[in-house]
Structure 1
Amino acid sequence: MASSLTEKTMKSLIEENLCFEIPYEQRGYRWRVLNLLELFGDLIEFSKDPAATVYCLQPLAVSNRCSSPKKFRVWDGQQRLTTIFLLMKSLGLPYPYSFIFERDIDGKRKDFMKSPTFRGNDEENIDLFYIGRAKQVFDDCINNNTQSNLINRENKTEVGLFERVCDALKDIETKKNIKKLLLGEHPYKNMMFLWYVVDEQYATEIFMDINSGKISLTNTELIKALLLSENSVIKKPELTAMQFSEIEQGLMNDNFWFMIQPQEFKRIGNSIELVKGKELQYRETSDLRNKLLRFDLLCNLVAGIDFKLYQQDPLVSFRFFYDNRDKLDELWREIRDCYRILQSIYNDMEAYHYVGFLTYQNPGVSGYTRIRSLLDSYRNNKRSEFIAYLKKQIKVYEDPDKLDFKKNKGQIRCCLLLHNILTLINCYKQNKNNSKLRLNRPFETFPFELLYRQEWNIEHIAPATDNPLKNVADQSQWIASTKSDFPELFENPNETYKDNQYSRFSEDVHKNIYGLYQDYLNLLQEDDDSLSKNEVRKKREEVFDKLYNAIVESTDALAGNDAINEKYCIGNYVLLDEVTNKSFHNALFPTKRRIIISASGQQLDTLDHEVRLAYIPPCTKAAFMKFYNTQPSVSLIQWTETDVKEYRKNIVDLQSKFR
């Protein structure tokens, strides 16, 4: 696959008398006024800076049309090419090149480019509107038309930039220098494009598939082109291409990526934005272009680029590589070394979990500083020392009950996550040291990607809140699930106690609950014209609240002396994804336990029709399965004080022994 990446100065661009063909699939010219002023302002600053010698106009990706050596099909860079063309027109300079527009069937755009004029809101042709407006903005700057009605007076940035450009152009020498730059006639300053030529087949396969040419080349694509270019110093381009693809594939592994990063990067125009939280849920998994930005992480690390600088300039590390293209072999080795270390961490059971936890516990802005520290520590230490370094960075919670549920939810969530991680590591170590099992690989690891793709809640194992259920559907579902766990409460107590049938509840409790249940059913059938719908709803909520509280109190009482004392404590918390959590509907312990089993894929209970398969963290599952309570008699209908103490003990013990 032939490609080349070279410099193309404005002088050579003009002398070669090139013709640029804009493919049908590409959108028309769309630069905003602020974009125009920023470019013009940059050129003025460059012309005045005695130390600056080269102004780079970003990449221009083209393919050569076989019909003519001077005709090039533009896949990326149309906006900037058009802007330079219009600026030169406003300055009274000759055409630097010509255009052919495949979409321009009637030739309007081609003719308009020869003499563009602003005609206001051109509803017939939006392309002509943007072209004409750009030409007029440049005219207003050059002619010092400070009252231009094309400037958004409410945008202080735009107004300030416009005024500075107009003021600078009052100086005749500045205007002359800008003209010399554009013509390539300045004695010691050059304007240039990064000239990226690919064969027609490659252009069709790659660039047409990338949002129909609407998105600029990424930092990664340009660095790859630089490495594999015909004039590159890379000695083994075929091997480099294979290694590059392997690293790209490895970075596409979400499990690996979210071990080191809490978010994705997304290019928006000329800046980088973070994609995190719920936004990650809806990102297409086939969106390979966004994942290509993951490679930028390695390039930025090697180039020593700060994340804030990368946000402002997505091509900053490419420029570093381009300026150091005589050292590409060495830079490429450094990229591979960074990736090799991160892969080694990923393949290490302990290191993977500790690094993943640190990423979650201390997300920071981007983790660049944290990752650089990881790489340095790995290079300079033995494995045991590196693991000790990681453990030292982790904050443990030796007295987690001091964490307030309302004020310290983030710390409680981290405490529960650490408990899950340490449980998985301990289980692996025990099995690995078992000579009969001979395990070489972990059989379960924590999927850190789910921490970011889903919302996670702190769930109370035993219900700790007052009734939150307000609509009939939720109330009816709660009653149905409770009835399956405690059916006797919903049977007529007169029949139960008349026949001396066994009941877990006293007759008074049973009668009270049954009476409230009947009152609730009657209110569902309420047909009293003297009451408004709101009054009926209010009465129904009041009765359901009484029914809910009566059932919770009576089921809690079944534990007797082992009833839970404090529900807002670490021994009553588990980590659970939001979807499964919502399916609980403030259910009692037996229903929650059944939902956990269903969500784990062990069985599907028809009562819990909202339950769907989910990842249930190992300690959450263990709590509901009563793994922590080793007493000979274990209640499966309640979360008891013994359960709380044993579960808490396991959390505290694992973390206190962690160091």
Structure 2
Amino acid sequence: MTASSGDALLEPKLVGDISGRFYVPAYQRGYRWGEMEVGRLLSDIWESLDQPYYLQPVVVKRHGDEWELVDGQQRLTTLYLIFQFMKSEGLQNSGADYTLRYETRPGSAAYLEQPDPALSQSNIDFFHIHHAYECIRAWFAAHGNRRQYAANKFHAALYEQVRVIWYEAAEDLDAATLFTRLNVGRIPLTDAELVKALLLSRRRGDSGTTDRALETAAQWDVIERDLRDPELWAFITGKAPEDPTHISLLLDTIAGGPTGRDRPLFHTFETLRERIAAEPQEFWNEVVDLHSLVLGWYEDRNLFHKIGFLVAEGGSLRSLIGLAKGKSKSAFDAELDSLIRDRLKLSEAELRELTYEQKTRTNRALLLMNVETVRRRTHSSERYSFREHAAGRWSLEHIHAQNAERLNSVEQWAQWLRLHRKALETLDGVDQAKRQGVLDRLDQALTGEVITESEFRTCERQVTELLNAGNETGDGAVDSIANLALLDGGDNSALSNSVFAVKRAAILARDRDGSYIPVCTRNAFLKYYSPADEHQMHFWSANDREHYMQEIIRVLGGYLSIDQETAA
């Protein structure tokens, strides 16, 4: 494949196969890599021996019998110095098969051939070139009597494993503009950008027209726009939308291979390159079909909630696509139920025993309760917001905190007292004389110069006794799942350690202000699960906890495993 007007050539190229004459144009600064960059390049290549390794792209444009080096000067210059060092030291017989010259710094090309320390202070370019050369010398010297062995292995790797993505820009593209765009990150050469450039280049050749390329480019933009919907992106990734390109998720899924930090640089492009070159239409059809599948899942409320939960809990799009392959909708739905059941992995007895200390399992159970509560509303268009879930710092919140032992600063004590004073002002159904006495005690503490711990603990005890009147809290009840809810956390320790009445007021205020409150958290603080004749709004009673627990069991019932004792 060769480049023509309007096209770009993309291909992997072994470093040892780079040849020709390169010139660095005036719009670029000189060589500036230091010890860190040079050392990282050497170490990364050395650590990748015996396996493919990709460097960042080298962007060039044909200029007569030379290559204009649009991007990649620092890498090619450093590689040239490595070749030159091994040749000069007699470690290898030959140097690089390419040359470099500089449009505005003619002396630098000669200095690359022999970085003379006596001339290193002559100008800034010589200084950096000489410093890089000495870094290379030190790296090889660190191998001691195995220096020759290291040179042989390193040299072989440059001809067998280490590649650059060779990006030959279209002839009619202004190189200076391309350089500026690359270096401000507006068109980063990610896997997705490389796949797009190659795909459009091949599609321009279809049937001798440009129509297919224009159609593909338009479809690409539609898919990228769809995937940039924050709710859809969070639904299929469990993450907030931070990636530069979102269509890369589909491309990575098709390419397969390692994920996360274990994924090699440009793995997707290299895996898909030959297929795109051979069958661009067939490849693009798969991308379009995968996009349609994801949109179909997203638009189906039932699948949206089940898949969204599994992804939020660490499931991958790739595994779910594999699970759905060849199955009817009902069979796929049943498989999702099985996956959720396996992920929850709880019997009713085990669910009842979950506590604050078992944060991961308790958090998972409460998340599923919220998701399922929304999903089950079959005549509603409401959806659980996986976008809010991905963006938040969700934590287990005690619906009713028994005490404020974790508060240990004057600022926290004062805030706690102010919050509870506000709750006491509107409290009905308690001894009013006792309430006024506690209010007076709080005012005295808050208007004093400094609140002492002794004074705070006395106020705390009187407040909690008044707000807990008639509320018997047994051992372990405070940390039980029946006293826990999901809430977007923060650093407000005073609120976290507050009693029910204070938290209820704060959560309702957040709800009025538009903060996202999970449906079951809101319901708990509204006493939605308790019968109307049992309502009292200043504490979370044992009856409230049991009604809440029964609702958790009811909602999660279809995903609970059979108790061993019950089965026996």
**Superposition TM-score, scaled by structure 2 size:** 0.80
Query: How far off is 1:335 after superposition?
Result: 2.3
Query: Are 1:100 and 2:102 an aligned pair?
Result: yes
Does residue 1:86 correspond to 2:86, yes or no?
Answer: no
CA change 1:419–1:72 in 2 (3 A) is: same
Q: Distance in 2 between matches of 1:9 and 1:232?
A: 27
The whole-number CA distance in structure 2 between the counterparts of 1:631 and 1:190 is 72
Q: 1:322 aligns with which of 236, 253, 273?
A: 273
Deviations 1:548-572 (A, max 9, x none): 1221112211xx3x64542222221
1:2 aligns with 2:6: yes
Which structure ranks higher in relative contact order (CA pairs < 8 Å, sequence separation ≥ 6)? 2
Distance 1:20 1:641, change over 3 A: same
Distance 1:117 1:216 in 2: 36
One of 549, 553, 578 as aligned partner of 2:461: 549
Q: 1:381 and 1:77, CA in 2 relative to 1: closer, same or farther beyond 3 A? A: same
Structure 1 vs Structure 2 CA RMSD = 4.1
CA contact (8 A) 1:117 1:136 kept: no
**After superposition, what is the alpha-carbon deviation per residue over 1:140-161, rounded to whole angstroms, capped at 9, x for unaligned?**
4xxxxxxxxx2399xxxxx45x
The equivalent of 2:302 in structure 1 is 350
Quote the residue 1:341 is aligned against: 293
Select 1:28's aligned residue among 22, 27, 32. Answer: 32
Tell whether the 8 Å contact from 2:54 to 2:164 is kept in structure 1 after alignment: yes
Aligned to 1:221: 193
| Residues 650 and 229 of structure 1: CA distance in aligned 2, closer, same or farther (over 3 Å) | same
Which structure 2 residues correspond to residues 191-270 of structure 1 after superposition, within 5 A?
194-198=166-170, 208-212=180-184, 217-229=189-201, 236-263=212-239
Identity score, percent: 23
| 1:403 matches 2:361 | no
Structural mapping, 1:163-174, within 5 Å: 166-167=148-149, 169=151
Q: Provide the rounded CA distance (Å) in 1 between the counterparts of 2:545 and 2:132.
A: 69
Distance 1:615 1:488 in 2: 26
Q: What corresponds to 1:579 in structure 2?
A: 490
Q: Which whole-Å CA distance do the structure 2 matches of 1:261 and 1:340 have between them?
A: 16
Tell me how far 1:383 sits from its aligned partner: 1.5
2:318 to 368, 372, 387: 372
AA at the equivalent of 2:9:
L
Task: Kindly state the Cα deviation for residue 242 of structure 1 after the two structures are TM-superposed.
Answer: 1.4
The verdict on how the C-alpha distance between 1:638 and 1:121 changes in structure 2, with shifts beyond 3 A counting, is: farther
Deviation at 1:98?
3.0
What's the CA shift for 1:124?
Answer: 7.0
Structure 2 CA distance for partners of 1:240 and 1:354, relative to 1, 3 Å = same
Aligned-partner residue type, residue 449 of structure 2: Q
Q: Which residue matches 1:438?
A: none
Shift of 1:425: 0.7
2:60 matches 1:62? yes
Superimposed CA distance per residue, residues 476-511 of structure 1 (whole angstroms, 9 cap, x where no aligned partner): 33333322332399xxxxxxxxxxxx982275x558
Report the Cα offset of residue 393 of structure 1. 0.5
Question: Alpha-carbon deviations, 1:90-118, whole Å to 9, x = none?
Answer: 4365872333266x6xx664553354235
Distance 1:488 1:447, change over 3 A: closer
Q: Which residue of 2 aligns with 1:421?
A: 371
Superposed displacement of residue 513, structure 1? 3.6
Q: Corresponding residue for 1:117?
A: 116
1:291 to 229, 239, 244: 244
**Aligned AA (2:398):** H
| CA apart distance, 1:251 | 2.7
CA offset at residue 230 of structure 1?
A: 5.5
In structure 1, the gaps of 5 or more residues are 47-51, 141-149, 154-158, 183-187, 264-279, 433-441, 490-501, 527-536, 603-612
Say if 1:525 and 1:189 are closer, same or farther in 2 by CA, change over 3 A: closer
* 2:139 maps to which of 115, 130, 151: 151
Q: 1:437 maps to which residue?
A: none
Distance (Å, rounded) in 2 between the aligned partners of 1:94 and 1:151:
19
Q: Give 3-state SS (helix, strand or coil) of 2:57's partner.
A: strand
Contact 1:116 1:131 in 2 (8 A): yes
Q: Distance in 2 between matches of 1:77 and 1:580?
A: 45
1:435-461 CA distances to partner (integer Å, 9 max, x unpaired)?
Answer: xxxxxxx2x222223333321111111
Alpha-carbon distance in structure 1 between the residues aligned to 2:454 and 2:517: 35
Letter of the 1:627 partner, please give it.
Answer: Y
1:349 is displaced (CA, Å) by 1.0
1:313 is displaced (CA, Å) by 1.5
SS at match of 1:486: helix
Q: Does 1:650 align with 2:551?
A: yes
Instruction: Output the TM-score relative to the length of structure 1.
Output: 0.70
Cα displacement (A) at 1:128: 3.7
The alpha carbon displacement at 1:202 in A equals: 7.1
Task: Quote the residue 2:338 is aligned against.
Answer: 392
